[in-house]
A = this chain, B = another copy of it.
Amino acid sequence: MVFDWQPAQNPFMTRDAALLLPSTEPVTLIDPDGDPVPVGHDMPDPQALVRAYAALITARRFNDQANALVRQGRLAVYPSSHGQEACQVACVQVLDPGDWLFPTYRDSAAIVARGVDPVRALTLLRGDWHCGYDPHATRVAPQATPLATHLLHAVGVAHAARLRGEPTVAMAVCGDGATSEGDFHEALNFAAVFRTPVVFFVQNNEYAISVPLARQTAAPSLAHKGIGYGVPGARVDGNDVAALLTVLGAAVTRARAGEGPQLVEAHTYRVQPHTNADDPGRYRSADEVTPWLARDPITRLEPYLRGRALLDDEKIAGYAAEAEELAARMRAGLGEDTVADYRDLFAHVYAEPTPQLREQQALVADELSREEAR
């Protein structure tokens, strides 16, 4: 094992505050009309933007299809990332194959963008007992529901890699609500103290179920939390995939270079209900949602790319067809009923079932055999 690790050395606690505070406004590179914004940030490589466009189309189609499947009872629940697809796509596109993604329940589209089969990616939300994919093979952790808890796992995974001298970065994703949990605090602090290569990516969609951001924090921005850990905070327009690729890309690069963890807050909006079971009419007006529809990540990128001859009707049709194919696979895969085997309940509680579990499983087996005998 290669050891190459030193904790942060801050004997005099004098890290420069100016370097840690976020910009006053979120970084935008392409405005809602598709025009470039003249700022001091690099525009991503055109091919990267085209790739992102294709991924956006897929992510949107994925969301729409999943919403349809939940209505048809083929999924137990679906927390849609409709409108947040730029975040979903960008946080994956900036990663190397050896990096890890730590998603929440809302980040199924990101998991698919990472290359996980869409049917497998929806295993948990379909109501199965496991995440459906191999975290090691895919370098995607199981979707976390207990809020902010997985941020600490990201720190651990990245720290272990660092101890072995591997160049791994962990992309740890959470929502605005999750930043209020103690585990968010502990994760940022541990990562900062150990200079662990984690990018904490907060998708601030302004709501935690029904609770608006103002009830979640009184800070100037969530990115302002970084300085309290010695972590640089950045703010980015969460519906501008170009800005996201640039800001998240830079964060990954810094983390990989040994500069420690990074905090990026994306300003976006949850245009749909929290999940299919939610009733947003109880806590927000349609008027609040409308302006956000005009800031849609796809309708913004498309004119920009068309204007630069990076995209045309033919290409768009191609991406749409690919997305449609994915949707068809989802319908087929999730339309099938899976056979649930009770033995799976006992098989993975421990590496070896305990005698108690063997006894309990035998009881079920006996019940079933008697049922069959009837």
A349 interface residue (CB < 8 Å to B): no
Let me know if B219 and A192 touch, CB within 8 A. yes
Contact mask A1-32 → B, CB, 8 Å, 1/0? 00000011111011111001100100000000
**Docked complex Cα distance between A11 and B284 (Å):** 14
Let me know if B21 and A219 touch, CB within 8 A. no
Cβ contacts under 8 Å, A227 to chain B: 219-220, 224, 227-228
Using CB atoms, name the residue of chain B closest to A213: B13
**Count of residues in A whose CB is under 8 Å from the partner chain:** 42
Let me know if B182 and A220 touch, CB within 8 A. no
The stretch among A92-100, A164-172, A183-191 that forms the contact with chain B is A183-191
Let me know if A228 and B219 touch, CB within 8 A. yes
Contact mask A216-252 → B, CB, 8 Å, 1/0? 1111110011111111000000000000000000000
Let me know if A220 and B183 touch, CB within 8 A. no
Give residues of chain A (146-182) contacting chain B, Cβ–Cβ below 8 Å.
Answer: 180-182
Give chain A's interface residues, CB within 8 Å of chain B.
7-11, 13-17, 20-21, 24, 180-186, 189, 192-193, 195, 213-221, 224-231, 260
Q: Can you give 22 A-B contacts (C-beta < 8 A)? A: A7-B214, A8-B214, A10-B217, A13-B213, A14-B220, A15-B220, A16-B220, A17-B21, A182-B182, A182-B185, A184-B185, A185-B186, A192-B217, A193-B216, A195-B218, A217-B230, A218-B229, A218-B230, A220-B230, A225-B228, A227-B227, A227-B228
